[in-house]
Amino acid sequence: MNIEYPLRRMHRYEQNSKPKPVPPKPELKKKRRRTKPRSPGERRKWERENCRPKPVPKPPSFAQDMPKKSYDEMLPRLIELSRPTRIYEKSPPPDYVNRKSFDYVMTERMEALAKPRALDPEYVKDLEYDFDEKIERARRYKPTERIIKLAQPKPHPPPKEEINEFAFTVNPAALKYKPTQRILDLAKPRMYEEEPEVDPFAVKESAKRYKMTPRMEELAKPRDRAAPGPNPWAFQVNPQALKYKITPRMIELAQPKKDPMFAKHNCFRVVK
């Protein structure tokens, strides 16, 4: 068994397992901050350096391996390339027919396609319509008496130029008309009752005869308001509270909670 191969592989593993060295970071140039404005000369110098248009980059130049030739040497080749590849001495006439087409044998499908398409019979009638024939028939037509009568214009009476003075006179029969009771009732105008004017400050008679109750008199009186100032009885105890007798339940609720921290000192005592 060859032992050198595993040893070399282990040596390679050891080399690859080591961390790669970190490249040093490039030192950043500290920008010098200006503390005072530029002078006019410095300003013009800065404008000349930074305000000019950027130069247009030139295309890269490639080295030409082909040898240069003069115009006289290239002229024969240029003339040869300028000539057309195929020259027709004479173009065929427009009515020229190829000789091979005379020997062509058509198939049944080609013959069917070569026939014109049949037109619709209604369309054929329109194409074969003769206008002159219709006009001749109309000229030879003899109308009947009924047609002649209907063709006559309707007679209208001539307009009257005289002015009728009695156009708005009442018919004598209307003067003798006797209306019924219903017509007379409908002819009367409708009457509306006028509402009397109401005085907004008037008092009703019932209100004048009203007798007030003692309760109404009590409510009608204004409330007695105390004079402004400090209230001397704000912290005074009600006399009924002084006569109050406490119950055993209230005494039990008044006892403080039994806390071991406060039990030693006996801070809270209830006075009976």
pLDDT value of position 270: 46
Q: Name residue 34's amino acid.
A: R
Most confident of 3-7, 178-182, 188-192, 267-271: 178-182
Cβ count within 10 A of residue 126: 9
Q: Name residue 74's amino acid.
A: M
Q: Which tens digits make up the pLDDT trace of 182-228?
A: 999 999 888 877 777 878 888 888 888 888 888 888 888 887 766 66
pTM: 0.17
Q: Which tens digits make up the pLDDT trace of 121-148?
A: 888 888 877 777 777 778 888 889 999 9
Q: Which tens digits make up the pLDDT trace of 12-64?
A: 667 777 777 788 887 877 777 777 778 888 888 888 888 877 788 887 776 66
Do residues 128 and 119 touch, judged by C-beta distance below 8 A?
no
Cα–Cα dist 252/119, whole Å: 124
Cα–Cα dist 38/46, whole Å: 9
Confidence bin at 272 (pLDDT 50/70/90): very low
Per-chain mean pLDDT for the chain: 79
Q: Which tens digits make up the pLDDT trace of 91-109?
A: 767 778 888 888 888 899 9
Cα–Cα dist 6/2, whole Å: 8
The answer on pLDDT for 1 being more than 50 is no
pLDDT value of position 271: 47
Which two structure tokens, joined as six digits, stand for 16?
Answer: 């690859």
Do residues 237 and 225 touch, judged by C-beta distance below 8 A?
no
pLDDT value of position 181: 92
Nearest to 48 by CA among 57, 61, 38, 59: 38
The answer on pLDDT for 3 being more than 80 is no
